[in-house]
Amino acid sequence: MIKKILIANRGEIAIRVMNSCREMGILSVAVYSEADRNSLHVRYADEAYCIGPAPSNQSYLDLEKIIETAKKSGADAIHPGYGFLSENAAFSERCKKEGIIFIGPDAHAINTMGDKITARKTMLAAGVPVVPGTTEPIVDLDEAVKTIVEIGLPVMVKASAGGGGKGMRLVEKEEDILSSVKAAKSEALAAFGNDAVYIEKYINSPHHIEFQILADQHGNCIHLFERECSVQRRHQKVVEETPSPIMTPEVREEMGRHAVAAAKAVNYAGAGTIEFITDDQLNYYFLEMNTRLQVEHPITEQVVGVDLVREQINIANGEKLRYRQEDLSQHGHAIETRIYAEDTDNNFMPSPGKINHIHFPLGAGVRHDTYAYNGYEIPIYYDPMISKLVVWGNNREEAIGRMKRALGSYKISGVKTSIPFLSRIMDVPDFKKGGYTTHFIQNHTEALKSKDSCSEECSDLAAITAFVDFLKKQERAKPASNGKAPASQWKAFGRKKAVTRL
């Protein structure tokens, strides 16, 4: 039985994992870089160890250092969170060799899904629909032209070692095929040290719909329905929701079965996500599998009522799944917005710096996963996401209203954030309608622009005015210079009129 878990991550996800550990009576060990000494996950853990300098490759990506720390602290398992070492097959393998439980899938599953060409072949063999295209790497360039003309333009050229939009190229004209394939190959070689590329038919106006799955080590696998993640900017998700507004019960059931088949095809164990791309007719195709817990996992937790981290730990302990497929259903609607320290009016430039004051939204149906606190200085070395705001409502309309309200009562000063931008998304009629595609943000740049040219200054001024007011009141409350006690403000107030109690 796992008694102590080292969390090989930082930020909100480290805290999220520690929460489940604490609820399960498991001790948590934090690791941190020199830039993260004041990070909340360090204080939140039962123990914490500095593992190196700020750059990730000298700390959060330093496999040796993390293994060494796990041994030193007596942790019997490692949770990798997302990003960093979470999809590193060598790390999963190394943990196993060292007798440390890796809370995630084995190297075979990570490798098979990590190589997109192998993943496509494996899915085809398992009867999971993949985007029409090639299943072998493009070697001969003349052959490539023939193949692409056969598939029919437009196509996507994708790096086999890529994923998440890295090393992708759209080809629309026949005369561009050669140069695009060449460029994709050299880009892939530079980025991944592997120049294998494959071809997919281009899906116009796509929707990104992913399925959460859980699989135990005994061959049982269930899905926890879908998440709609089509609101993206430069392959970064901005808003996620569940259920998907375009889903039907029939397609959901079929996609869910295919998601389970996909996981079973690699003998998956743990929590994972099958990404599908769909067209407007809800034809769907496997895109890739993320072999880790995802940023947006909380919306599934809110609607399905399952703690995914707890289940990851149970699975790692060798337990059988506690849920059967028929035990699970979707209840209500959840939306997540990702709050970044960035200037959305200035090309989404990161806005690191000190959070002077932060006030979180509260109230019914609001969940806030964060590591931010008053006075925290956001380091420049890592992803500038400061929090995830998750709301639940009985239905989509209620959830959107709740998100608007929560974003409106969220106050951060000191750094610029994406809060006003996210709030505007909630107002866009095409978002409210729900049939949006992955082009949503680029199609609504005008509506999403800040209309209030002095919003920052106005709110700063309001804050300063309120503060000066406060100082004045404090001044009035001081003892008078003649040494006599000051006149009570309460008495003065009481004399004017009776207090109305509400």
Pick the piece of the chain touching ligand MV4 (CB under 6 A) from 29-37, 121-129, 200-208, 461-469: 200-208
Taking the CA atoms of residue 358, residue 362, residue 367 and residue 372 in that order, the dihedral angle to the nearest 10 degrees is 10
Which residue number, 101 or 287, has a Cβ lying nearer to ligand MV4? 287
Residues ≥6 apart with Cβ < 8 Å to 339 = 370, 385, 386, 387, 388, 389, 410, 417, 418, 419, 422
* Catalytic residue numbers, as ranges: 292
Which residue number, 109 or 155, has a Cβ lying nearer to ligand MV4? 155
Q: How far is the CB of 284 from ligand MV4 (least distance, A)?
A: 12
Cα–Cα distance, 392 to 302 (Å, whole number)? 7
Residue among 164, 401, 435, 486 that touches ligand MV4 (CB under 6 A): 164
Cα–Cα distance, 378 to 353 (Å, whole number)? 5
The torsion angles phi and psi of 283, rounded to 5 degrees, stand at -70, 135
- Structure tokens, 345: 């009016």
Residue 369 near residue 387 (C-beta atoms within 8 A): yes
Which residue number, 33 or 273, has a Cβ lying nearer to ligand MV4? 273
Give the footprint of ligand MV4 on residues 125-144 (CB under 6 A).
131
DSSP string, 146-214: HHHHHH-SSEEEEEEEEETTEEEEEE-SGGGHHHHHHHHHHHHHHHHS---EEEEEPPSS-EEEEEEEE
**Number of residues located near ligand MV4, criterion CB under 6 A:** 16
> Could you say whether residue 165 binds ligand MV4 (CB under 6 A)?
yes
Q: How far is the CB of 207 from ligand MV4 (least distance, A)?
A: 8
Give the footprint of ligand MV4 on residues 229-258 (CB under 6 A).
232, 235
> Could you say whether residue 197 binds ligand MV4 (CB under 6 A)?
no
In the chain the first and final C-alpha atoms are separated, in Å, by 54
> Could you say whether residue 287 binds ligand MV4 (CB under 6 A)?
yes
Which residue number, 167 or 365, has a Cβ lying nearer to ligand MV4? 167
Which residue number, 44 or 348, has a Cβ lying nearer to ligand MV4? 348
> Could you say whether residue 206 binds ligand MV4 (CB under 6 A)?
yes
Q: How far is the CB of 113 from ligand MV4 (least distance, A)?
A: 13
> Could you say whether residue 290 binds ligand MV4 (CB under 6 A)?
no
- CA atoms lying within 13 Å on the CB side of residue 122: 24
> Could you say whether residue 401 binds ligand MV4 (CB under 6 A)?
no
Report the alpha-carbon angle 402-403-407, nearest 5. Answer: 120
Pick the piece of the chain touching ligand MV4 (CB under 6 A) from 61-69, 194-202, 381-389, 475-483: 194-202
Residue 336 near residue 241 (C-beta atoms within 8 A): yes
Q: How far is the CB of 276 from ligand MV4 (least distance, A)?
A: 10
Q: What is the residue whose two structure tokens read 């998956």? A: 268
Pick the piece of the chain touching ligand MV4 (CB under 6 A) from 117-125, 197-205, 349-357, 469-477: 197-205
Cα–Cα distance, 266 to 111 (Å, whole number)? 10
x/- contact string, 81-120, with ligand MV4 (CB under 6 A)?
Answer: ----------------------------------------
Which residue number, 109 or 199, has a Cβ lying nearer to ligand MV4? 199
Residues ≥6 apart with Cβ < 8 Å to 54 = 33, 34, 35, 36, 379, 381
Q: Which residues bind ligand MV4 (CB under 6 A)?
A: 131, 156, 164-165, 200-203, 206, 208, 232, 235, 277, 287-288, 438
